A and B are shown apart, each in its own frame.
Chain A
Amino acid sequence: MTAPLLKVENLRIELTTRDGVAPVIDDLSFELGAGESISFVGESGCGKSMTALGIMGLLPEKVGRVASGSINFAGEELSTATEKRMREIRGNDISMIFQEPMTSLNPVYTVGEQIAEVLRAHQNLSKAAAWASAIELLDAVRIPNAQRRVSDYPFQMSGGQRQRVMIAIALACKPKILIADEPTTALDVTIQAQIFDLLNDMKRQTGAAIIMITHDMGAVAEMAERMIVMYAGRNAEQGPVEQIIERPRHPYSKGLIACVPHIMATLTEERRELTEVAGIVPSLREFGKNRCLFASRCNMVTQKCLDKRPPEVAFEGQQMSACWHAEAV
């Protein structure tokens, strides 16, 4: 097997809050091959965005930091890279699109300027050449009338169109990895399907690997080959998507999958969110405790679960689960 494009090992990200220091990401490891798609699922607040920002080197200033572990991108360690080196990588080798298309674009510059800017930053293009590429990119993300729309301001576009512009910006420099942090959560269901289609097409065209963060199990099934189920900053279960859906090895993933009626249903159909496992995610203060953090919501809980954090148990076909009773799930 060739070396993976991105290798995250025992990553620990700490946040300094008023209540003290808490590990918002605790001992997370995963790999991403070139051109591969991996999906992160899990409820709100379990650290999906923090993982993404950690890879980008954009953790909230003075609050978040990589405390230990490594983020290795194509043989280069990112967690200790200089800010200058990270700037070269951001938007060029690794790009990110965000959950909020309505506010993610700068309201006072035209979309063309905002696309051209990233090209100029990384590719030394002239103003005119960057502008021409911006038009091509708008066309590629299927904005009709690209020639004219390129001089529009963000407020003249719909949410779906703005997210397309964000995708154009992210893919402008043909990155090796695209991180999409809940790219469709804020959009209408029909628009969601179009955006997923677009991302799939772009992935095929550019060969970028995708890290897709989502609440939407249907999107996971459609978009990704492998998935990581996260819970309270930790890896709960990891493995090939179909395998996990068919035979989950963690009570949390099992709950998530059970509460989505037709995972494979067409994407235009209204799907329910992942919040239907009874109970709530523990608060950040609980994150570092040496026990299973899912215990308060688990129907298989035993004393062992409360005494010690469960280790990651490997199963056949690259599946692994962090549960004391994984065999019995």
Chain B
Amino acid sequence: MASLQSLMMRILYAAILLIAVLVLNFSMMHMAPGDVADTISQSMGGADQELLDQIRADYGLDQPFLVQMGRYIGNVLQFDLGYSFFYNKPVTELILQRLPATLLLVFVAQILALFIGVILGVISARKPNGIASHFVTILALFGYSAPVFWTGILLLIGFSLKIQLFPVAGMRDVTIEGGFWVHFIDVARHMVLPVITLGSIFLALYSRLSRATMMEVLGSDYVRTAKAKGLTERQVVYKHALKNSLSPVITLAGLQFSAVISGAVLVEAVFSWPGLGTLAFQSIIARDTPTILGILFFSALVVIVGNLLTDLALRLVDPRVRSKG
């Protein structure tokens, strides 16, 4: 099956890409001034050259560049991302602890932005001078020009401090007790503002693109055919036109994955969301090299997996992609 084969090729490319990311990551971090020995000595309140050399020898930092890198990549492939001296924990454990919070934020924001964006796009394409269409235009203007942290802080001031509707920071309230649903609602309440902040940028993007493609699709020959069959307006729009207008939006969403991750770092910082972004922020300030490398690796992994998912979604909506691979 050509289709399965091409999928395997995709996965192979993804693996190669991941190795390349590792090489690049490591080289960059290696070139930056300051290393683990400095960090450790600092936390001990200073050390002489002899001790520094000792530490470097202990952690293999005196080895040639390629040897260090080879060892790093080898370890990563066994899911060993090293040890964080700053947090006193294996990096893998550290990251796996924080990853779910980031994934939750990113996926909920992306999916809501996609869903609402497409619906807004469809409504405004059908009535180019209607309220929805004007809303999309304003949203786009706002979404493109307002920086994420500004939106975030504004929402925070408005809906957490002035009107105390949502919690100010974090992901859950540790004092709350109760069953699954109590915690679920607690997390959901904490998520509202971060998700709106992160989602708004992408909502602007998706609703504009989906309005444009929908308008084009509504003027196409096969939509005229659907009308000539005597189908209802709803069948024409939601069965015949919508499925055709999805591909470009899904493709764009896939391309946005890395932007979503970097957006998440800022949003997490504003709302103290306990995810990878906050971790990255802290470990950069602490010069915690293994943790930074680990986070870079994981964000690359998320982007690559996101792209694979995009690919699968495209296959689902467009039979031509399915057969060509």
- Using a CB–CB cutoff of 8 Å, the interface residues on chain A facing chain B are 56, 58, 86-92, 95-96, 98, 100, 103-110, 117-118, 121-122, 153, 155-156, 166, 169
Interface residues of B in 10-44 (CB under 8 A from A): none
B320 interface residue (CB < 8 Å to A): yes
What residues of chain A lie closer than 8 Å to B228, measured between beta carbons? 56, 58, 90-91, 95-96, 98
The verdict on A155 contacting B230 (CB below 8 Å), with A103-B221, A103-B222, A107-B222 known, is no
Please, how many angstroms separate the alpha-carbon atoms of A90 and B235 in the complex?
Answer: 14
The verdict on A108 contacting B232 (CB below 8 Å), with A98-B225, A166-B225 known, is no
Please, how many angstroms separate the alpha-carbon atoms of A118 and B228 in the complex?
Answer: 10
In the complex, the answer to whether B240 meets A121 with C-beta atoms within 8 Å is no
B246 → chain A, closest Cβ, in Å?
A: 9
What residues of chain B lie closer than 8 Å to A107, measured between beta carbons? 222, 244, 318-320
In the complex, the answer to whether B230 meets A108 with C-beta atoms within 8 Å is no
A selection of 13 A-B contacts at a CB cut-off of 8 Å is: A58-B228, A87-B230, A90-B227, A91-B231, A96-B228, A98-B224, A103-B222, A104-B225, A107-B222, A108-B317, A109-B240, A153-B319, A169-B225
- Using a CB–CB cutoff of 8 Å, the interface residues on chain B facing chain A are 220-222, 224-232, 235, 240, 243-244, 317-320, 323
Q: Which residue of B lies closest to A108 (CB)?
A: B243
What residues of chain B lie closer than 8 Å to A58, measured between beta carbons? 224, 227-228
Please, how many angstroms separate the alpha-carbon atoms of A229 and B81 in the complex?
Answer: 80
Q: Of A100, A110, A117, which contacts B229 at CB under 8 A?
A: A117
In the complex, the answer to whether B230 meets A90 with C-beta atoms within 8 Å is yes
In the complex, the answer to whether B221 meets A100 with C-beta atoms within 8 Å is yes
Please, how many angstroms separate the alpha-carbon atoms of A218 and B251 in the complex?
Answer: 48
B136 → chain A, closest Cβ, in Å?
A: 20
What residues of chain A lie closer than 8 Å to B226, measured between beta carbons? 106
Q: What 8 pairs between A and B have smallest CB-CB spacing?
A: A90-B230, A91-B230, A91-B229, A103-B221, A106-B222, A153-B319, A118-B229, A87-B230
In the complex, the answer to whether B230 meets A106 with C-beta atoms within 8 Å is no
What residues of chain A lie closer than 8 Å to B235, measured between beta carbons? 121
What residues of chain A lie closer than 8 Å to B244, measured between beta carbons? 106-108
Please, how many angstroms separate the alpha-carbon atoms of A96 and B227 in the complex?
Answer: 10
What residues of chain A lie closer than 8 Å to B222, measured between beta carbons? 103-107
Q: Which residue of A lies closest to B241 (CB)?
A: A106
Q: Which residue of A lies closest to B221 (CB)?
A: A103
In the complex, the answer to whether B221 meets A98 with C-beta atoms within 8 Å is yes
Contacts beyond the supplied A56-B228, A103-B220, A117-B231: 8 A-B pairs with Cβ under 8 Å: A86-B230, A90-B228, A98-B228, A104-B221, A105-B222, A106-B240, A107-B320, A118-B230
Please, how many angstroms separate the alpha-carbon atoms of A109 and B319 in the complex?
Answer: 8
Please, how many angstroms separate the alpha-carbon atoms of A86 and B229 in the complex?
Answer: 10
In the complex, the answer to whether A153 meets B320 with C-beta atoms within 8 Å is yes
Q: Which residue of A lies closest to B244 (CB)?
A: A108
What residues of chain A lie closer than 8 Å to B220, measured between beta carbons? 103
Q: Which residue of A lies closest to B246 (CB)?
A: A108
Q: Which residue of B lies closest to A118 (CB)?
A: B229
Please, how many angstroms separate the alpha-carbon atoms of A300 and B226 in the complex?
Answer: 46
Please, how many angstroms separate the alpha-carbon atoms of A66 and B1 in the complex?
Answer: 53
In the complex, the answer to whether A121 meets B230 with C-beta atoms within 8 Å is yes
The verdict on A106 contacting B317 (CB below 8 Å), with A87-B230, A92-B230, A121-B231 known, is no
Please, how many angstroms separate the alpha-carbon atoms of A91 and B228 in the complex?
Answer: 6
Among B226, B228, B320, the one with the most A-chain Cβ atoms within 10 Å of its Cβ is: B228
In the complex, the answer to whether B225 meets A87 with C-beta atoms within 8 Å is no
Please, how many angstroms separate the alpha-carbon atoms of A100 and B323 in the complex?
Answer: 23
Please, how many angstroms separate the alpha-carbon atoms of A240 and B235 in the complex?
Answer: 41
What residues of chain B lie closer than 8 Å to A156, measured between beta carbons? 323
Please, how many angstroms separate the alpha-carbon atoms of A98 and B227 in the complex?
Answer: 12
A61 → chain B, closest Cβ, in Å?
A: 9
What residues of chain A lie closer than 8 Å to B229, measured between beta carbons? 90-91, 117-118, 121, 169
Q: Which residue of A lies closest to B219 (CB)?
A: A60
A127 → chain B, closest Cβ, in Å?
A: 14
In the complex, the answer to whether A122 meets B230 with C-beta atoms within 8 Å is yes
Please, how many angstroms separate the alpha-carbon atoms of A58 and B229 in the complex?
Answer: 11
In the complex, the answer to whether B319 meets A87 with C-beta atoms within 8 Å is no
B214 → chain A, closest Cβ, in Å?
A: 14
Please, how many angstroms separate the alpha-carbon atoms of A88 and B231 in the complex?
Answer: 9
In the complex, the answer to whether B232 meets A106 with C-beta atoms within 8 Å is no
What residues of chain A lie closer than 8 Å to B230, measured between beta carbons? 86-92, 118, 121-122
Please, how many angstroms separate the alpha-carbon atoms of A86 and B233 in the complex?
Answer: 12
Please, how many angstroms separate the alpha-carbon atoms of A119 and B140 in the complex?
Answer: 42
What residues of chain B lie closer than 8 Å to A110, measured between beta carbons? 319
Please, how many angstroms separate the alpha-carbon atoms of A109 and B239 in the complex?
Answer: 10
Please, how many angstroms separate the alpha-carbon atoms of A153 and B319 in the complex?
Answer: 7
A101 → chain B, closest Cβ, in Å?
A: 9
What residues of chain A lie closer than 8 Å to B221, measured between beta carbons? 98, 100, 103-104
Please, how many angstroms separate the alpha-carbon atoms of A105 and B220 in the complex?
Answer: 10
Please, how many angstroms separate the alpha-carbon atoms of A156 and B324 in the complex?
Answer: 11
What residues of chain B lie closer than 8 Å to A91, measured between beta carbons? 228-231
Please, how many angstroms separate the alpha-carbon atoms of A102 and B231 in the complex?
Answer: 21
Q: Which residue of B lies closest to A155 (CB)?
A: B320
What residues of chain A lie closer than 8 Å to B318, measured between beta carbons? 107-108
Please, how many angstroms separate the alpha-carbon atoms of A109 and B229 in the complex?
Answer: 15
What residues of chain B lie closer than 8 Å to A104, measured between beta carbons? 221-222, 224-225
In the complex, the answer to whether B240 meets A87 with C-beta atoms within 8 Å is no
Q: Which residue of B lies closest to A87 (CB)?
A: B230
Please, how many angstroms separate the alpha-carbon atoms of A114 and B36 in the complex?
Answer: 65
Q: Which residue of B lies closest to A84 (CB)?
A: B232
A214 → chain B, closest Cβ, in Å?
A: 18
A51 → chain B, closest Cβ, in Å?
A: 15
What residues of chain B lie closer than 8 Å to A106, measured between beta carbons? 222, 225-226, 240, 244
